[in-house]
Amino acid sequence: MIVTVTYNPAVDQTVQFEEQMAPDRVMRADSAQFDAGGKGINAAQLLTAMDRPCVATGLLGGFTGTFIRETLQEDGVGTAFVDVDGTTRLNTTAIAAAEEYKLNQTGPTVEASVVDDLLDRVAAQDPDRVLVGGSLPPGLSPEAIDRIAAGGDWETVVDTGGDVLRDLDAQYGLCKPNRAELGDATGADVSTVEGCADAADAFRERGFDRVLASLGPDGAVLVGDAGRLYAEALDVDVVDTVGAGDALLSGVLSAWEAGADDETALRTGVAVSAQVVQRAGTAVPDLDDIETLRDGVTVRRL
């Protein structure tokens, strides 16, 4: 069973405009939607949709926190959040004339003591694997992630920014940077797929058994004891890239939970990501044809 930890959740607001955005004018959206967001939360929703037992934990506060908890419960996702003072952040993606604008809040300041409460919530679920995803709110340092990794007899997966990845000291089963985060974390040249694989391979020495790097339109690489695997992205109509990396990771974890090897897991992750980017917002899409999509993913060894 997987538990996801989202230290800094968000309500994801997605607004769409027909016209190009411009300063000093009132822009009226043609449509808007609100979704429960944050890397761990997105993963919990996707894993639940793929029939993988999952419980979402993290820190919630205010009316936006209430919205997230209620949304997850309506989606059938188990929840075990810690309540904090302040209001969970609101992140906005504006899509205008095929361009994306992202406006993210920092999140409420929290006390370091909340990690103790959160560890209790995680341990109570007796998970096999724990995913810690997303940014850290003000008041917490990378030590808050290391404490989760060292806090119990579970494998820990981490999906956070490159600056945080550099400062982690515990042992992790997997980290999932995107291309920019991989470059930030290693200082390596990641302009090519081969360069990304080299950087991921080197980064494993810092305490990561596997490294899964999302490369946007170039696909993804998965580097571990099974070798260096590269999967090309599927050719789909991209509407919104928010949550694409979360979908990639969720697909990989879902396949591993089913006993799949790394190559099958990578194919599955790319297929789930392809489904997610074809619609606006971070709500879970229809995943019924994932196996068919997976068969169309090309994987090769680097």
Domain map (residue ranges) of the chain: 2-301
Q: Is the pTM of this model over 0.75?
A: yes
pLDDT tens column, 209-257 = 999 999 989 999 999 998 999 999 887 877 767 778 899 999 999 999 9
149's tokens:
């990794």
Catalytic residue among 35, 240, 246, 262: 246
pLDDT in tens, 133-189: 999 999 999 999 999 999 999 999 999 988 899 999 999 999 999 999 999 888 999
Report, as an integer, the average pLDDT of 69-95.
95
Please state, in angstroms and rounded to a whole number, the distance separating the CA atoms of residues 184 and 127: 31
Q: Are strands 54-60 and 2-6 parallel, antiparallel or unpaired?
A: parallel
- Which of 15-29, 34-48, 197-211 shows the lowest mean pLDDT across its residues? 15-29
Catalytic, 167? Answer no
Residue 283 clears pLDDT 70, i.e. is over it? no
Distance CA 85, CA 70 (A): 18
- Counting residues of the chain whose pLDDT is more than 90, the rounded percentage is 70
Are the C-beta atoms of 283 and 74 separated by less than 8 Å?
no
Backbone angles phi, psi at 34, to 5 degrees: -125, 130
pLDDT at 282: 63
Q: Does domain 2-301 have CATH number 3.40.1190.20?
A: yes
Determine whether 288 is exposed, middle or buried from the number of CB atoms within 10 Å of its CB (0-12, 13-18, 19+). Answer: exposed
